[in-house]
């Protein structure tokens, strides 16, 4: 799918070659730009862009990219935790089970609302808090049914990889793919 997006800004200013206010994709990935403190992986850049609705102005700043990098890592680490999460024997669907299913439903609703990726991502982060709470024991795994755990795994997999097109860093690192994507 191709969507027309709103304007891309760099440090709150319109990008302009004459003002020296531009960053090319290779510079973004390598960090070889006076506007960046370092290079960012293609997956971090994608995650950064998903955090803004396609019809909204996107302001590219080093600080925003750093925050996106942290968010991306948190989401991927939560996905790894979720893959290892198993339902408790004889788990009974409780209030927590209902909360998780409601958040899953809301994630789908947000995406169905004009491709609202920022809100869908925020729902995934709400689910991430639940997942990490289950792992850490702050939330009881006995309140979450096996069906809900499976639905949670499927939702994270579908959204992260199929809908948002993100890859784990090991899969999205320097493998020559970005050269082919950037070349015209």
pLDDT of residue 169: 84
3-state SS class at 56: coil
Of the pLDDT bands very low, low, confident and very high (cuts 50, 70, 90), residue 184 is very low
Question: β-strands 8-10, 58-60: how paired?
Answer: parallel
pLDDT at 181 over 70: no
Rounded CA separation 165/47 (Å) = 9
Q: What is the pLDDT of residues 96-155, one digit of tens each?
A: 999 999 999 999 999 999 999 999 999 999 999 999 999 999 999 999 999 999 999 999
Instruction: Using CB atoms within 10 Å of the CB of residue 68, give its burial: 0 to 12 exposed, 13 to 18 middle, 19+ buried.
Output: buried
Between 4 and 124, where is the model more confident?
Answer: 124
Residues 56 and 68: beta-carbon distance below 8 Å: no
pLDDT of residue 60: 96
């Amino acid at each position: 799918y191709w969507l027309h997006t709103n304007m891309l800004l760099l440090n709150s200013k319109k990008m302009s070659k004459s003002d020296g206010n531009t960053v090319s994709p290779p510079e973004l990935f390598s960090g070889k730009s006076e506007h960046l403190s370092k290079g960012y992986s293609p997956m971090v850049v994608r995650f950064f862009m998903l955090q803004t609705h396609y019809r909204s102005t996107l302001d590219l700043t080093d600080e925003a990219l750093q925050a996106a990098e942290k968010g991306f890592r948190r989401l991927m680490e939560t996905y790894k935790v979720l893959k290892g999460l198993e339902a408790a024997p004889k788990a009974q669907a409780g209030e927590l089970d209902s909360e998780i299913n409601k958040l899953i439903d809301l994630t789908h609703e947000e995406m169905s609302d004009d491709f609202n990726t920022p809100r869908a991502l925020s729902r995934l982060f709400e689910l991430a808090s639940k997942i990490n709470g289950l792992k850490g024991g702050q939330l009881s795994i006995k309140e979450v049914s096996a069906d809900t755990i499976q639905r949670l795994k499927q939702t994270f997999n579908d959204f992260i990889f199929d809908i948002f097109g993100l890859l784990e860093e090991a899969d999205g690192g320097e493998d020559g793919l970005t050269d082919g994507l950037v070349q015209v």
